[in-house]
Amino acid sequence: MNRLLIPAAVFAVIAVFLGVGLTLNPREVPSPLIGKPVPAFSLPTMDTPVRTLTARDLAGRAWVLNVFASWCAPCREEHPLIVDLVRRTPVPVYGLNYKDRAEDARNWLARFGNPYQAVLVDADGRAGIDFGVYGVPETFVIDRAGVVRYKKVGPLTREIIDAKILPLLKELDG
């Protein structure tokens, strides 16, 4: 009798895990950074490469980091929403230009508009690795203490901005 119960119990456990897995959204990749301090960085800015910004420089108020690249098609789709986000919130939005040529990024921003408070340059992708970037675009919301509160893998949508990002920014910047 016990020999039949063991396979049935194993099957039940597997079925539960499968059932839970099927309810998850594959576009929402959990980040180990949520609730933890933003990774330390010191990156040059695109407009003034001799000027660097660090996580410490951005502490003291909430901020958004949008990882983008000129070669990224979904970034092009998302960009008007980033422009609109900047218009709708006083919270600064910074760009992280990921594995891109500076000239290409400058041309891209000149063509589509530069909504960013500053654009940080991550030419070799090392900062992206520290942030756990899977690809571009990705967006992070960081609180005034420098703790990552939200991460979105893939392009933002109006729904995500309205339902998640703007309410979170209002809470963090209030």
Go through the domains of the chain in sequence order and give each one's CATH number.
31-173 (3.40.30.10)
Q: What is the pLDDT of residue 111?
A: 97
HEC string of 105-171 equals: HHHHHHHHCCCCCCEEEECCCHHHHHHCCCCCCEEEEECCCCEEEEEEECCCCHHHHHHHHHHHHHH
Q: What is the pLDDT of residue 29?
A: 53
Distances (CA, A) of 150 to 28, 96, 107, 158: 11, 16, 29, 16
**What pTM does this model have?**
0.83
pLDDT, tens digit only, all 174 positions of the chain: 567 667 666 666 666 666 665 655 555 556 678 999 999 999 999 999 899 999 999 999 999 999 999 999 999 999 999 999 999 999 999 999 999 999 999 999 999 999 999 999 999 999 999 999 988 999 999 999 999 999 999 999 999 999 999 999 999 986
